[in-house]
Chain A
């Protein structure tokens, strides 16, 4: 096997640009790894939510008489403890962000017109920010002696 090369040091082969190489002329890249992190977040938050949400349902609907016991006094008793305040705060943020990111996927899948998709997502983001802020405010400003 002695294949003779057409090229050598004095006579180098022509350079071929890799077809997808980014050069000065290609538009600035807007690609990020956002979707990858979103995908990962759905799975990590999902694992944590299993404990938070199923624990919440167990306390609210199963233990101690089920839904019968719930009322202002019950909430006052629970939010007297920083542990349950923290539990509810984590559950609020994780469930809302997980659910909102899930709904973003659903909207992207079914809303075909650009403007429809844009406005549905704006509605989703507005509702999400509003709900997360309201829920956070309620936990931090809860007043058992409000009446």
Chain B
């Protein structure tokens, strides 16, 4: 371990890094998202135009990425809360992280078709 650093590496540090990166990304998305939703106060056409970009293949894939970020942040956030408030939390933090990763993989697999169906249908026909 290098001297003069608080960073300890391993699961604890990397889950913290990922929690921070996803949190910041979600915040920036939310800022843009409230702006695009505000177009409902301009006109139905203006709103439908911006929503059309949400339906392009590239942005659709980005939405899957957003789901990935939020699912990780949410599940790991619950883990952080458990570490802080559950007396056995710190002892099981590593097991809980692998549980988070496992649940995340399952939910991401389940979300693949529903989230990307728009692109899959337009690219490969119904």
Contacts and interface: CB of A to CB of B under 8 A. Distances in A.
Most chain-A CB neighbours within 10 Å: which of B26, B27, B63, B84?
A: B27
Nearest to A124: B27
A99 B30 contact: yes
Q: Max chain A CB contacts within 10 Å: which of B34, B38, B67, B78?
A: B34
B70 A46 contact: no
A134 interface: yes
B10 interface: no
Given A96-B30, A147-B43, A106 B20 contact: yes
Contacts of A99: 23, 26-27, 30
A97 B40 CA distance: 23
Interface string B68-96: 00110010011011001100000000000
Contacts of B37: 75, 135, 138
Contacts of B80: 43
A46 B117 contact: no
B47 A62 contact: no
Nearest to B78: A50
Interface of B: 20, 23-24, 26-27, 30-31, 34-35, 37-38, 40-41, 43-45, 47-48, 51, 54-55, 60, 63, 67, 70-71, 74, 77-78, 80-81, 84-85, 111, 114-118, 121
Given A54-B74, A61-B115, 14 more contacts: A46-B74, A46-B77, A47-B78, A61-B63, A61-B111, A72-B40, A96-B30, A102-B24, A135-B37, A137-B41, A142-B40, A142-B41, A143-B41, A147-B43
